[in-house]
Structure 1
Amino acid sequence: TGDSSINLQAQEEIIEMKDVFSVKLKRRRFVGQKKGGTLLGITIFKCLNKEENKLTDCAIHLNNLSEDHCHSWFRHLKEILNGFQNRPKSLKVFVNPSSHKREATHVYYEQVAPLFRLADIKTDVTVTEYEGHALSVLKECELQAFDGIALLYLLLHVEGTVCGAFLFCNRVVCVGGDGSVSEVAHGLLLKAQIDAGKDTDYIPTPVRAPVPLGVIPAGTTNILAYTLHGIKHAVTATLHIIMGHIQPVDVCTFSTPTKLLRFGFSAMFGFGARTLALAEKHRWMPSNQRKDFAFIKTLADLKPEECELSFLPLRIQQEDSHENDKITLLYLGSKDQWHKIQGHFLNVSIMAIPCLCSMAPRGLAPNTRLNNGSMALIVVQNTSRTEFIKHLKRYASVKNQFNFPFVETYTVQEVKVQPQLKSGLDAKENRYLNAASAEGNYPWNIDGDLMKEASQIHVRVHPQLINLYG
């Protein structure tokens, strides 16, 4: 194990123990011999920080033929390693195999599991078999038996138009539909509320998740792992877990007036949700074709949603904002004063994290952070198809995607979205866009999962509700 190996004999080398994650006795063994052997020294395994946020493991060999010296140093180094409190000793692991050649399973057993074994981390592995499997396991899981949760999932590469980044970079679920990061995060937080005796239909102040969550990507495009690690690399994500690198992250609750829908990180209403709804109706198509078809068809039949937005602005100074960024910030006299806007909107995005990915270098919500206690409310007013496409293309560039007269952004802590129910729905709209059913249900894209609701959706941000490895 290890991308590189260093043999220290007559040279001096400084090794910081904070970078070391394992120490082993080094022995010479014959072919087929599993125990015993001639003791040659000890091997130290450390984490190296390479360029572009990439982490890798490195083996350093210290040669010494004295068994007393080797065992003494081995015990002493193990005691130091055991003193790092954030490093997990036991993990509950969910592997989402997806439907694409079971690549996630291969990545786990070939790249991830050997590192966990090397770091002496005990694992309890569940390979998810259907949508909701991880959620059902977490509801029955005794979380106190583990130091953390690790999820390895596959997200297939998304080919298509540049504009496709607007919707499909936001998707954090496996294309195969067997599980998702948001499903595990929701299950982890829901389990915490149940254990705390909370009413799960109404949770104004949820309790924090008791254990951290680690996200290990096995595909090429995802937002949560990219936002956390700055790179899509399974070994990097694994080493962040092993080293106990923890970041507190804000989480949203999505609720109707009568029940909690789910915990999540981001949502779209309008174009982003309509496209996902249409793609879900054509799951018989190959994945990339289905997405391209849904995107192009929704764009061709572009129509705004009529709704009322109520939001509670956050009284903070926006950091890292540029003069040419079009950002609307409301500084109201009372921190509890709600603001309302009503009209026709092509898309409404509500995001508690920046949603970075390789296809959107600035992120879908570049003016928020992982844990600043706020959400970005991005409102795209009704405009021409040509202008809307220009807005979408900006997501794939370094230019400010909000610098349009029809785009408004707000920094908020709560949002209420109330669709205006229509009568006499257009048959073509029902057929192709799946906008509103006869019962008046409207589609929502919550962390890439499709949800339909007719009533008002209330979104609250809860600061640092979960710890993520990264």
Structure 2
Amino acid sequence: MENHHTKDPIYTFDASVDDDDDGIPTLNDDSLNPSPVIEKATIFEEKTRTRIATDFSKEDAKAVFTIDGEGFDVILSENKGKIYFSPMSVSGRRKSARKLSGLLRSRRPSMTESSSDDGIALSSLFGVHVKRRPTTSTSRSDTGLCQGLVLSMLERKNENVLREKTLFMEHPSTFKRPRAVKLFLQPYAGAKNGRSLYQKNVLPLFQHAGITVDMSEIVHNEYVKQAMTHLDFEEYDCIACMGGDGTVNQVLDALMSRSQKEKGVDLKVGNSAAASPVPLGIIPIGRTNHVAFSLMGANDIMTGVLHIMYGHFQPVDVCSIITPEKICRWGFNSQYGFAGQVLTYLHRYKALGSKRVDAATIKALTKAKLRSYECEIEYIPADNQRKGDQTPCTTGCGICMGASKNDNITDCITDMVQELDPLNQSFTSNTSSVIDLPQDTPWRTVKGKYMNVGLFTIPGRSEMSPQGLCKYTHLSDGTLDLVLVKETEKKEFVRHLKRHGNSKNQNDFPFIEVIKVKEVRFRPRYPTGWNYNDHDFSEIKYQMEREGSKAQNQESMEVINDLDRANSISTLDISDDDDENSDDEQKEPKPQMLGPQYRKTFTEIEVERRRKIARKKEEKMKAREESKMLSVWNIDNQQVKSLELDFKVHHGVLAICACGVSPLSEYEDVRTSWLS
């Protein structure tokens, strides 16, 4: 907003009387002037009303500000002596009366403001303060990046009590834009041209916008986590990554883990996650880029850079994943079964380049590889199941915006109830009191054979699946979409895969079940009953041990059944003497007798060698059969071999530089010839 006072950050409005061209006084505060002057001001206002309407745009100052998360056109009218607020969005206009009554206008009229008029009278203001963010702890309050204006005004609390009221107006296009960005670059992602893309396309845009970029290349898998440990979040406005889905997962894991450490949150005991203090920016240069595609509607490099430059933020749900070793990691989408097998073969076919995705999928669909997996899944169903709701998540999604902000508190209460559940306590059998305890538990259990198990917090869009792996998953509704693909025929499963490329619902099959959940415990059912030869078994040794155990049992029974005390004592004395003699014999080494040793024949050596070879073959066959019965986890296109995992969704704990997918997006069917 333009203002003639630019030197001092504190401004005051003059309430004195000014003369216009006709010599008639104009008043800013009616309560401080006598009644004749008020009458003259009223006459002047009636005469000049037409002139004010015609010269409205020339004499008034206009600007766009954000107030309590809503955008407003703010107009300063010096002629009318008021500040007017007009909501920019359609939803904001619908709520303007309610919002302005509670935010911009007091419940009681101020000393100089009429309750029937909108806006704030300048006479009710006693100061305007420019709020700045200090660059360092020792910097002055009048230096640093300007964040907005703070209006200080006067209001009545009741008939006799006055109070101060402040209104913070934040400029959305200036004060939310980042000025310093930490960028992690994976130069070998996608076509392995990350360095040239950064130097030619990305860095010049940031320099033109006046944004400082601190770029670091990822040299190994643990580099991002190590660098994030020593990173100062106060120096950066955004943490960005330039790479594929694997790079996004590494930066997400390091950022959220560091955020929990800063807040002292331990998720291993069931606590709710702490939000990230800085947003995450994504510049996609990988092959699939399903995270960037789901949040931006495209995998374009310039789109990701511009979202970071303009400070567009989209809250997103994140899933915490805890292993049996109590190691916590983070991710968006996780799949077990067919998707895990595809990822396994994808790593084997790296030499094929862009064709490796087709080759890995064909390999996983062969008769020898395509199978179902026995699983045991426990989950807590979400309160808002929304069965039959086929509404995709787009920009300004009403479901995501209307999600409850108290989901984390509800999760904490649920965890406390589970920890103090009296049903888990052990009771003795001689208890005489009967306690009527509730038998209901929030956990549900399903067991069976599934060809694929998916957990989605984002739709998972990509070029092969333009509308997503789970089309109706929302970005910030506080739930996980659990998709269970039960055992079925191969042709039906291929039909399910083909629908990922068209506008049909890929989960609209009788063998697929979709459940909205908050927590999931996954346990694979390990294979049993494998029959193989035990080469360590010896029939002679087994019979000798069996006869020895029989003789030992007979001797013990004779000692117990002997009623003669003298005989039992003598038997004990004899045993003691034998023990003493045995100890003396152990102390004195016996001379060893040397004689001819037995040497194996060539036939026996050959037979033993062949047995070892057969044993190795059987062990390999056993490992191969067990590997067929188990799969690996595909977490954001990252392979995780730990199978027993616990998942929990955390609502809106991360802001990503994106605006969501436009509701006007048009999709074309993708035909995959390798699925024919």
Give the TM-score normalised by the residue count of structure 2.
0.49
1:449 equivalent in structure 2 = 638
In the aligned structure 2, how far is the partner of 1:118 from the partner of 1:80? Answer: 21
- Given that 1:143 and 1:210 are in contact with CA atoms closer than 8 Å, whether structure 2 keeps it comes out as yes
Correspondences of 1:2-17 after superposition (within 5 Å): none
Q: Distance in 2 between matches of 1:308 and 1:343?
A: 7
Structure 1 residue 119 displacement after superposition? 1.5
**Aligned pair in 2 of structure 1 residues 251, 344: CA closer, same or farther (>3 Å)?**
same
Match 1:123 to one of 189, 198, 213:
213
Q: Give the alignment partner of residue 133 of structure 1, picking from 223, 226, 231.
A: 223
**Corresponding position: 1:148 with 2:215:** no
Structure 1 residues 296, 335: closer, same or farther in 2, change over 3 A?
farther
Contact 2:265 2:271 in 1 (8 A): no
Is 1:285 aligned to residue 390 of structure 2? no
Maintained 8 Å contact 2:239/2:281: yes
Residue 229 to residue 101, structure 1, CA distance change in 2 (3 Å): closer
1:104 and 1:432 map into 2 onto residues whose CA distance is 41
SS of structure 2 residue aligned to 1:415: strand
- Counterparts of 1:261 and 1:95, CA distance in 2: 24
1:319 Cα deviation after fit: 8.4
Please give the secondary structure, in 2, of the residue aligned with 1:247: strand
Q: Does 1:465 align with 2:532?
A: no
2:537 maps to none
Contact 1:95/1:128 (<8 A) preserved:
yes
State the Cα distance separating 1:257 from its structure 2 match. Answer: 4.2
TM superposition shift of 1:100: 5.8
Question: 1:315 is matched with which residue?
Answer: 383
Following TM superposition, by how much is the alpha carbon of 1:102 offset from its aligned partner in structure 2, in angstroms? 3.7
Q: Whose strand proportion is higher, 1 or 2?
A: 1
Picking from 270, 283, 295, the partner of 2:361 is: 295
Would you say the 8 A contact 2:190–2:285 is kept in 1?
no
The residue that corresponds to 2:134 in the other structure is none
CA shift for structure 1 position 264: 0.5
Question: In structure 1, how many angstroms separate the alpha carbons of the residues matched to 2:468 and 2:386?
Answer: 16
SS in 2 for 1:316: coil
Shift of residue 313, structure 1, vs aligned partner: 1.0
Aligned residues: 362
Q: State the secondary structure of the residue aligned to 2:453.
A: strand
Aligned: 1:186 with 2:253: yes
Amino acid at match of 1:116: F
The alpha carbon displacement at 1:429 in A equals: 9.0
In 1, Cα distance between equivalents of 2:497 and 2:295: 24
CA deviation after TM superposition for structure 1 residue 138, in Å: 1.1
TM-score scaled by length of structure 1: 0.70
In the TM superposition, what whole-angstrom CA distance separates every residue of 1:158-212 from its partner, at most 9, and x where no partner exists? xxxxxxxxxxxxxx22xxxxxx101101100011112223346556312111100
* Alpha-carbon shift at residue 312 of structure 1 (Å): 1.0
Verify the 8 A CA contact 1:215 1:469 in the aligned structure 2: yes
- CA distance in structure 2 between the aligned counterparts of 1:212 and 1:335, rounded to whole angstroms: 40
User: Structure 1's 283 and 335: CA in aligned 2 closer, same or farther, altered over 3 A?
Assistant: farther
Residue in 2 aligned with 1:176?
A: none
Does the 8 Å contact 2:189/2:286 carry over to 1? no
Equivalent pair of 2:478/2:649 in contact (CA under 8 Å):
yes
Q: CA deviation at 1:114?
A: 1.3
Tell me, in whole angstroms, the C-alpha distance in 2 between the residues paired with 1:137 and 1:250: 24
Say if 2:483 is the partner of 1:353.
no
Q: Retained in 2: the 8 A contact 1:89–1:121?
A: yes
Aligned residue number for residue 215 of structure 1: 282
Amino acid at match of 1:210: P
**1:249–1:225 CA distance, 2 compared to 1 (3 A):** same
Q: Which amino acid aligns with 2:331?
A: G
Change in CA separation of 1:195 and 1:378 when aligned onto 2, cut-off 3 Å: same
Q: CA deviation at 1:263?
A: 0.6
Aligned residues of 1:266 and 1:446 also touching (Cα < 8 A):
yes
Amino acid at match of 2:218: T
Where structure 1 has 5 or more consecutive residues not aligned to the other structure, the ranges are: 1-14, 19-77, 156-171, 174-179, 324-332
Q: Is the alpha carbon distance of 1:362 and 1:340 closer, same or farther for their aligned partners in structure 2, counting shifts above 3 Å?
A: same
Alpha-carbon distance between aligned partners in 2 of 1:319 and 1:409, rounded to the nearest angstrom: 9
Aligned residues: CA RMSD? 3.2
Matches within 5 A, 1:108-119: 108-119=198-209
Give 1:450's aligned amino acid: Q
Q: Which residue of 2 aligns with 1:42?
A: none
Farther-moved stretch of structure 1 (411-420 vs 335-344): 335-344
Hey, what's the Cα distance between the residues in 1 that align with 2:450 and 2:252?
Answer: 30
Deviation of residue 111 (structure 1)? 1.6
Q: Give the counterpart letter for 1:311 in structure 2.
A: Y
Q: Secondary structure of the equivalent of 2:632?
A: strand
Could you say what secondary structure the match of 1:239 adopts? helix
- The correspondence for 2:445, drawn from 340, 348, 368, is 340
Which SS does the other structure have where 1:347 is aligned? Answer: strand
CA contact (8 A) 1:264 1:447 kept: yes
Could you say which residue in structure 1 is the equivalent of 2:193? 103
| Residues 336, 106 of structure 1: alpha-carbon distance in 2 compared, 3 angstrom cutoff | farther
Distance in 2 between the 1:293 and 1:102 partners? 21
* CA deviation map 1:66-96 (0-9, x unaligned): xxxxxxxxxxxx9699953321111101111
Deviation for aligned residue 1:433: 9.4
Q: How far, CA to CA, are the matches of 2:175 and 2:388 in structure 1? A: 33
Q: Is the 8 A contact 2:340 2:633 kept in 1?
A: yes
Give the direction of change, closer, same or farther, for the CA distance of 1:99–1:241 in structure 2 (3 Å limit).
closer
The alpha-carbon deviation at position 366 of structure 1 amounts to 1.7
Q: Give the Cα–Cα distance (whole angstroms) in 1 for the partners of residues 497 and 345 of structure 2.
A: 19
The CA distance in 1 between the partners of 2:203 and 2:499, in whole Å, is 39
Alignment of 1:10-409 (within 5 A): 83=171, 84-98=174-188, 102-153=192-243, 155=244, 172-173=245-246, 180-199=247-266, 201-202=268-269, 204-219=271-286, 221-280=288-347, 282=348, 285-300=351-366, 301-316=369-384, 318=386, 321-322=389-390, 337-409=442-514
Question: What do residues 33-86 of structure 1 show as CA deviations (whole Å, max 9, x unaligned)?
Answer: xxxxxxxxxxxxxxxxxxxxxxxxxxxxxxxxxxxxxxxxxxxxx969995332
Note the alpha carbon deviations across 1:237-284, whole angstroms, 9 max, x for none: 11111111101100001113441341110100111112212333x256
SS at match of 1:309: strand
* Bigger Cα Rg: 2
Structure 2 Cα separation of the partners of residues 376 and 334 of structure 1: 27
Note closer, same or farther for the CA distance 1:431–1:106 as it changes in structure 2 (3 Å cut): farther
Mind listing any 5+ residue stretches in structure 2 that lack a counterpart?
1-61, 66-144, 149-169, 392-437, 532-617, 659-676
